[in-house]
Structure 1
Amino acid sequence: MTMRTLAIALSLTIVTLFNIAQAKPAYTTDQQAYLEAEKAFKQGKSTEYQKLKQSLANYALLPYLEYEEIKKNLNKNSRQAVDDFIQKYESSPLSNRLRWDFVRLLAKANKYDLMAQYYSFGSVTSYDCMLLNHQLKQGKPISALSEQISNLWNVSKSQPKECDSVFEKWIDNNQLQQDIAYQRFYQTAHEGPVGLLSYLKRYLPRDEQYLADLWLKVRRNPKVVTRSNFFPGKNPEKEASLLVYAVKRLAWDDRDDAYSAWKRTQSRIPLAGGHTSDVERTLFLALATENNAKAVDMAKDHINDYLDDELVNHWKLVTLLRTENWQTITELYDLLPFEQQSSEQWRYWYAVSLDHLGKKEEAKILLSDLAKERDYYGYKAATRLKLPILLNHTPLIIPEETMNSVRQSANVERAKELYAIERYLDASREWRSLMSKLESPQEFHAAAVIANQWGWYNQSILTIARAQSWDDTDIRFPTAFKDDYIRMGKQVQLPPHWLMGVARQESAYGPRAVSPAGAYGLMQVMPNTAKTFARKFQIPYSHRSDLLDPAINIQMGSRYLQMRYEELEQNPIYASAAYNAGKSRIEQWKTFGRYPTEIWIEAIPYTETREYIKRVMTYRQVYALKLGLDDDIFEYILTTETGDKK
């Protein structure tokens, strides 16, 4: 697996790292005493609390009790207690949490000199401005702070009210440079709120303030640039950016209209080479993603351009695959930078192109090498050559002293106890702190094994990825809950290894995973979906927390995949894509044309969904191997067609 693949995979699977074993364990004596101490403290039972705390003098979670004590009594005179705690528990995230508690208290109390000793400038804009304003009141020259103030002012959004007086003094003292005013204006024009443009207009030279009015019109309706009298020609260089912005926005709304607008208007004002390149890149991507015929000519016209741009090269490839232009694919491959040529995707399609061009032996050699890999293109290569699909399992070998050292680290000991008492957020914070301290691959391996032994599968998977170690498939592809998946697979008549592959992609096999979008559990089920399915299939469900129960979540997620499978022609590619992107998008993408399934997959417009499909299909095959089951998904991908006929 490449680092790019890892980045995509992590950008899609990193969710709130909560996890739990299926059955709630019995608490140890120390764990029970800790929970009782917490309760006594909250209830103000001082004597009982102190007695329990004394019994926990050597317990890993003692810092959490001490933190609550200090926090409860925190005031502007707590410096010594804060310093002592930070020094004593430097390895724990509690140290930084207490630091921030103290910073917030000092900010509220206007104790800025002391606050500055604990605060890292640049962390919170309102605090930055509080400290800058304090320094100005203390007599520090505004010129000495000008760079810091400039960085705060020069953003494409409105800043907090705490910054108003600082900015006023800075501007009144002629510290605002014209180039900074331009920068903020053009940042805001492209990506900021429209209302802020009216405010920033005053900082442009008088003879250029008309540009703000033009930008307001373009932001509201980019089609205005097609009017013959829209560009007054007073400042062609700066007016050019209006045209570039407008056409790029139009490109994703109405491809043909944007293309026509570009052809009609680009000659009206002089454009730099960068402007033209920027617009035509966007136009090509927009046209190619919807299989517009104009993309074919653009791909050929720009065959030598954008060669460092992986996304553009991907869509050149897709356009050429759709037209079966095998010779041009090989020519493009030869032009690519080595890093792109070395990717599994390009190696595979180059080999396939050679095969179509009659260079069978050369293609076979390349595909045979790819077939050794445990990934999407490796499995396709093996299937093409009718070779065995390989699991390539190699267990980790970890020195005992490394294992013991990591297991005995304070972060691990605290994380273990927090995990056991179901404090998943705090356990995750301790684990992140641990990750920042580990150095060697062996240390990451040890941590991954430890998390796996606890049943903290998603954390284990992400930890081993930090070491770029891919071959211990027991850690990377856990088979927990397999009986639930096998049982549910029979009920919904879908392969259990497909269901497990979806879970592996959706949550990194984390039963307690909660996404920013509010999806829960192993298969990332939305609460609204759960309510519907609970009624329809008599699945016990009363609250979203029920989705953190693997048995319930597996039922919900499996039923959802089955529904998409039945709705979308019993096509496993459609169903998997719909699990990620929704049914309506799949219906739209189907209309872009009918092609061999492996080409249709490459032509999925959303990069996220395209990579999602490739990983789910790969994970499905991996889990089939681990369960000892046959699977023909890659045969399906290579021998069928997908999409609607135009």
Structure 2
Amino acid sequence: MRITATLLTAYLFALPLVTTSSKAKSVNSPEQFAYLAAEKAFAKGHFKTYEKLKKSLKDYPLYPYLEYKERLDDLSLAKRKEIDQFIKTYSNSPLAGQLKSHFINHLAAKKEFDVLKDYYSYGQNPRLDCAILEHKLQQGASIKDLTDDIEDLWSVPKSQHKACDDIFNQWIKAGYPKHNTAYHRLYRTAHEGSVGLVKYLKRFLDKDKQYIADMWVKVKKNPGVVNRRNFFPGIDPEMEAPILVFAIKRLAWGDRENAYKVWQHTRNRIPLSTSHIDEVERTLFLAMATENRAKALEWLDNDNLGSFITDDLVNHWKLAVLLRSERWDTIKELYTLLPKNQQNSNQWQYWNAIAQQKTGNQSEALLTLKLLAEKRDYYGYLAATRLEQPLKLNHVPAPIPEDTFKQVKNSDNVKRAKELFELERYINASREWRYLIKNMNSDAEIQAASKIAHSWGWYNQGILTIAKSGYWDDTEIRFPTAFKDSYIKMAEKVNLPPQWLMGVSRQESAYGPLAVSPAGAYGLMQVMPATAKVYSKKFNIPYKSRRDLLKPQTNIEMGSRYLELRYKQMEQNPIYASAAYNAGKQRIDMWKEFGRYPTEIWIESIPYTETRDYIKKVMTYRAIYALKLGVDDDTFQYILTTETGGLSSCDVAQQSSEKENASC
């Protein structure tokens, strides 16, 4: 594209509009400058300048975004032809769907239902569905004709959009809902919704069943009420049984022992199906096992969990209970009963090998451990360390044909995503990227896209993209070493290994400096703004707003300081410190009380699945980054040669008369 001298005047006119923007620092081409100037001119109503700029950008990848703003500016029916043309022309961009969505909402607001049906498929949006049903009523349809659709919209465990109020009211006046429909919604609401909605739904039950709603309200407020002798009247045991199941499951995750006692007292008060009993006992077992209660092993020995042999979570906690008890023969027996997919998992193969080793079958154990030691994962690294073999990186670049790479690189979506990424329009860039990946036909194309994203410095997108292809051995894309110097420099300041900081970043954000979590954590090491405020003062780190946390150097310093604090607080134990980085210090202090075990067994017994997986990944990523940096790392040696959990010497001292002399 040629930028003419005539347009330079327009650029100069628009210059003050863009140089005051936070985006200006990303401009690195005349086309990008012209695009930003065109956006500003359009927003300011300087349409002559805008048209000149737009004309020069006809071949620029983001030209559709200018067209989109024009179409969005006028969604009237008079512009329907232009809107249809845009949707057709840019069907390979998320902009087409976005414009269509805005047009649909506009048509609904203007009550243009005859046109709306050409764009909207019923069942996608409750608000629009209710508007359409109300229009049908006005056009002469009867409530009876629409009952099935209204019932589907009404039967959810939450209040629907207020746009549905009128049609629901008319439906109710016509004698709906019937008891079964109302009970179905009440049952779902009791499990997923609010007490207020349960109370509201009571009126729609048959008179002789309304007591069920009262029971649900009491149990949602206080599940312990089921222990009262007269709580279950036995009028309709089939409807009362789920209330008991719900209550015991809720109690189980609080006071485990009390929940067990309540279950023993109440289980025979009303008839329960086998599935109800299994559901309760599964929950009680999991709750007992996570806190290392003796009853978990008792339950396992009594084979109360036989119906859950395909249940991954139950089998994990069976394993954890048996490991804590050093029941190696039982672990071997359990392994033979597992479904093939679980037997073939690295976790079960590793622990079966250890059980074989502990019970004298050295040759079978050695064979399995040797096979595992070739793998680049947590159990592979445990196996290699046990065998005193070097850990394997196993890097094999993704096999991307050159013509496939060129085809993907030259696609419209990639071109648009690249410009948007450079202009820091990350949301739109991500939308283009998702659309690109969704419409790809082969793993090679997805791998090409991942390599392209990586080359831009869009590391987390590269990681997430290559994962979609199921290709795990390109460690250049999957484990970037960007910002390496910053990690090494910061590691020296906090006296922690740089590979640990990099491993945390890889797990926290997939190495995305611009990542923002739903919880509001920012950047590479997912730092919370509240933490940043404290640490900026404590360590004199420049920090004005949460946007600063998107700067790699600032984020690395904040996150490293936080990890350093946890490490010092928690006995200089890297497992505790990593777990606390994820779940908080209080939880780890609580989990320590569940007993002291070899560290690899303590890790398997971490109560939270998220934190348990987090630890395994961070320790593995730490070892991988050590290999990539060419430095030694003792992570897996530490895991295999130490014990974790229980009271530390400081804890013991603080509970005794030696508290004053304890140097904790």
Question: What is the DSSP-based 3-state SS (H/G/I as helix, E as strand, rest coil) of the residue aligned with 1:59?
Answer: coil
> Residue 524 of structure 2 aligns with which residue?
522
Give the letter aligned to residue 644 of structure 1: G
Is it true that 1:455 corresponds to 2:457 in the alignment?
Answer: yes
Give the letter aligned to residue 98 of structure 2: R
Q: 1:76, 1:109 within 8 Å by CA — same for their partners in 2?
A: no
Alpha-carbon distance in 2 for matches of 1:316, 1:399: 46
Alpha-carbon distance in 2 for matches of 1:149, 1:31: 50
Question: What is the DSSP-based 3-state SS (H/G/I as helix, E as strand, rest coil) of the residue aligned with 2:124?
Answer: coil
Q: 2:178, 2:204 within 8 Å by CA — same for their partners in 1?
A: no
Q: 1:224, 1:230 within 8 Å by CA — same for their partners in 2?
A: yes
Q: How does 1:479-518 map to 2 (within 5 A)?
A: 479-518=481-520
> Residue 243 of structure 2 aligns with which residue?
242
Alpha-carbon distance in 2 for matches of 1:513, 1:218: 41
Alpha-carbon distance in 1 for matches of 2:387, 2:575: 22
Q: How far did 1:337 drift?
A: 0.6
Alpha-carbon distance in 1 for matches of 2:553, 2:159: 47
> Residue 280 of structure 2 aligns with which residue?
279
Give the letter aligned to residue 49 of structure 1: Y
> Residue 294 of structure 1 aligns with which residue?
295
Q: 1:513, 1:522 within 8 Å by CA — same for their partners in 2?
A: yes
Alpha-carbon distance in 1 for matches of 2:462, 2:559: 23
Q: How far did 1:439 drift?
A: 1.5
Alpha-carbon distance in 2 for matches of 1:190, 1:445: 42
> Residue 631 of structure 2 aligns with which residue?
629
Q: 1:392, 1:471 within 8 Å by CA — same for their partners in 2?
A: yes
Q: How far did 1:185 drift?
A: 1.4
Give the letter aligned to residue 214 of structure 1: M
Q: 1:600, 1:643 within 8 Å by CA — same for their partners in 2?
A: yes
Between 1:195-204 and 1:167-176, the stretch displaced more is 167-176
Q: 1:444, 1:463 within 8 Å by CA — same for their partners in 2?
A: yes
Report Cα offsets for 1:603-640 as digits up to 9, x if no partner: 11110010000000000000000010110100100110
Q: How does 1:367-386 map to 2 (within 5 A)?
A: 367-386=369-388
Q: RMSD of aligned C-alpha atoms?
A: 1.4
| Unmatched runs of 5 consecutive residues or more in structure 1 | 1-22
Query: Measured at CA, do residues 24 and 445 of structure 1 come closer, stay the same or move farther in structure 2, by a change above 3 Å?
Result: farther
Alpha-carbon distance in 2 for matches of 1:256, 1:104: 54
Alpha-carbon distance in 1 for matches of 2:398, 2:219: 58
| Unmatched runs of 5 consecutive residues or more in structure 2 | 1-23, 649-664
Give the letter aligned to residue 28 of structure 1: S
> Residue 62 of structure 2 aligns with which residue?
61
Pairing partner for 1:412 from 411, 414, 438: 414
Q: How far did 1:145 drift?
A: 2.9
Q: 2:285, 2:299 within 8 Å by CA — same for their partners in 1?
A: yes
Pairing partner for 1:424 from 423, 426, 439: 426
Give the letter aligned to residue 588 of structure 1: M
Alpha-carbon distance in 2 for matches of 1:186, 1:304: 28
Alpha-carbon distance in 2 for matches of 1:610, 1:512: 26
Q: 1:458, 1:509 within 8 Å by CA — same for their partners in 2?
A: yes
> Residue 653 of structure 2 aligns with which residue?
none
Which structure exhibits the higher relative contact order, with contacts defined as CA atoms closer than 8 Å and separated by 6 or more residues? 1
> Residue 562 of structure 1 aligns with which residue?
564
Alpha-carbon distance in 2 for matches of 1:84, 1:144: 36
Q: How far did 1:169 drift?
A: 3.4
Alpha-carbon distance in 2 for matches of 1:221, 1:198: 15
Question: What is the DSSP-based 3-state SS (H/G/I as helix, E as strand, rest coil) of the residue aligned with 1:32?
Answer: helix
> Residue 659 of structure 2 aligns with which residue?
none
> Residue 146 of structure 1 aligns with which residue?
147
Pairing partner for 1:357 from 356, 359, 378: 359
Aligned residues: 624
Alpha-carbon distance in 2 for matches of 1:116, 1:27: 45
> Residue 131 of structure 1 aligns with which residue?
132
> Residue 327 of structure 1 aligns with which residue?
329
> Residue 213 of structure 2 aligns with which residue?
212
Task: Return the TM-score normalized by structure 2.
Answer: 0.92
Alpha-carbon distance in 2 for matches of 1:556, 1:72: 43
Q: 2:26, 2:424 within 8 Å by CA — same for their partners in 1?
A: no
Q: How far did 1:596 drift?
A: 0.5
Between 1:295-304 and 1:387-396, the stretch displaced more is 295-304
Question: What is the DSSP-based 3-state SS (H/G/I as helix, E as strand, rest coil) of the residue aligned with 1:516?
Answer: coil
Question: What is the DSSP-based 3-state SS (H/G/I as helix, E as strand, rest coil) of the residue aligned with 1:209?
Answer: helix
Question: What is the DSSP-based 3-state SS (H/G/I as helix, E as strand, rest coil) of the residue aligned with 2:542?
Answer: coil
Q: 1:116, 1:131 within 8 Å by CA — same for their partners in 2?
A: no
Q: How does 1:179-258 map to 2 (within 5 A)?
A: 179-258=180-259
Alpha-carbon distance in 2 for matches of 1:313, 1:328: 12
Q: 2:27, 2:33 within 8 Å by CA — same for their partners in 1?
A: no
Q: 2:346, 2:380 within 8 Å by CA — same for their partners in 1?
A: yes
Between 1:141-150 and 1:280-289, the stretch displaced more is 141-150
Report Cα offsets for 1:61-107 as digits up to 9, x if no partner: 00111111111122243211110110011111111111111112122
Q: How does 1:45-84 map to 2 (within 5 A)?
A: 45-84=46-85
Alpha-carbon distance in 1 for matches of 2:142, 2:448: 54
Q: 1:37, 1:49 within 8 Å by CA — same for their partners in 2?
A: yes
Alpha-carbon distance in 1 for matches of 2:426, 2:366: 50
